[in-house]
Amino acid sequence: MNRASSPTETGIGARLRHIRKAQGLTLEQLAKRSGLDKSFLSRLEREAAAASVASLLKVCAALGIQPGVLFEAPKTRLVRKDEAVAAHFGGVGVQDHILSRGLDGEVMVLRTEIAPGGHGGEEPYRFPANTDFITVLKGQLTVWVAEEEYRLGPGDSLTFSGRDPHTWRNPGPTPTVVIWVLCPAP
């Protein structure tokens, strides 16, 4: 993939299939480990279905991998706007771009664009990061962390443990743009 000319979305389905096969697992075995439907996993591997954040985390846990393994990290610390790696960590109406990743995986920074009504999934999820930090650049975001609701607007920030069950939604009529910082990087 040529990252210098355009931000190309990573093929997480193909990467999941490669990791599953390298571990000698069948789709049926992965379905049992993850608690997800075999046909859904097949569609996910073929890029014919999108995973919620919670579903993607279940698959990664079942494979014994961190979600960050599924995405290429930039080779340098400088990431120009048009060179940010597009990724999809799950959710509906969401486009993630990996802006930076520490050389040793100690931090991951994402710019996420969320369409009106876009969300991280109906089911709260836990992310394998000790600390999540989010700041809203544009729009509105409602975040639920361990049964607490936070309404964020431009310039607002929230820090919490990624290990606490959480999810989020753009409640507004316009797109929302946020920056996520995950430490250590998953």
What CATH number should be reported for the domain holding residue 110?
A: 2.60.120.10
Q: Is residue 124 part of a domain?
A: yes
**What was the pLDDT predicted at 7?**
30
What is the Cα–Cα distance from 146 to 148, expressed in whole angstroms? 6
Is 109 in a helix, a strand, or coil? strand
Are residue 114 and residue 152 in the same domain, yes or no?
yes
65 and 86 together in one domain: no
Residue at 6 is within a domain: no
Is residue 114 domain-shared with residue 165, that is, in the same domain?
A: yes
Predicted local confidence at residue 6, as pLDDT? 29
Specify whether 64 is located in the same domain as 118.
no
Q: What is the pLDDT of residue 158?
A: 97
Low-confidence stretches of the chain (pLDDT beneath 50): 1-10, 74
Q: Is 2 a member of any domain?
A: no
The pLDDT value recorded for residue 79 is 72
Strands (E), the chain: 85-87, 92-101, 108-119, 131-138, 141-145, 148-152, 157-160, 166-169, 176-183
The answer as to whether 76 is a domain residue is no
Four-CA torsion 158, 167, 99, 129, nearest 10 degrees: 80
pLDDT the model gives residue 95 = 92
How far is Cα 43 from Cα 169, in angstroms, rounded to an integer? 25
45 & 105 share domain: no
Query: Is pTM beyond 0.75 here?
Result: no
Neighbouring residues of 54: CB distance < 8 A, sequence distance ≥ 6: 90, 121, 123, 124, 125
Count up the domains in the chain and report the number: 2
The residue range of the domain holding 125 is 81-183
Whether residue 5 is contained in a domain is answered as no
Contact 162, 110 (CB under 8 A): no
